[in-house]
Amino acid sequence: MTQTTVLETAGERVWEPVCPLPDLLPERGACALIGGEQVAVFRAHDGSLYAIGNQDPFSGAYILSRGIVGTRNGEPTVASPMHKQVFSLISGVCLDDPGTVIPTFPIRVTMGMVEVSVK
């Protein structure tokens, strides 16, 4: 897990560096601690990037970054390695239990560095 320091900027989104883009392997997750929040970051085969909360709401374990990346009906997903519930990487909705949602976060690449905002 990578820990970063949050820099506050009044009235603006705060972007925190996670890792260089080449370090984020396609279809594999990485975890970063940003402002006390564990964030799971994923890079799809098509180059799309996603950031979600790392905590599995069913087990309580912080493990979604180690989940199985895939798609369901064309939607990018991650399956929890604990009980295999599948979550949308776009909306955070559990596709097996739509009443359960995990947080999603804005993600971008700036000068080759993957950045996530939790604020």
State the DSSP code for 12. S
Backbone angles phi, psi at 75, to 5 degrees: -95, 130
- Residue type present at position 74: G
pLDDT at residue 69 tops 60: yes
Residues 6+ apart with CB under 8 A from 95: 72, 75, 77, 86, 87, 88
Q: What is the pLDDT of residue 11?
A: 60
pLDDT tens-place string over residues 26-47: 999 999 999 899 999 999 999 9
State the DSSP code for 67. S
Burial of 33 (0-12, 13-18, 19+ CB in 10 A): middle
Q: What percent of the chain has pLDDT over 90?
A: 88
Q: What is the pLDDT of residue 12?
A: 85
What domains are there in the chain, each with its CATH number? 14-116 (2.102.10.10)
Sheet with 29-34, side-by-side order of all strands: 2-3, 29-34, 37-43, 49-53, 104-105
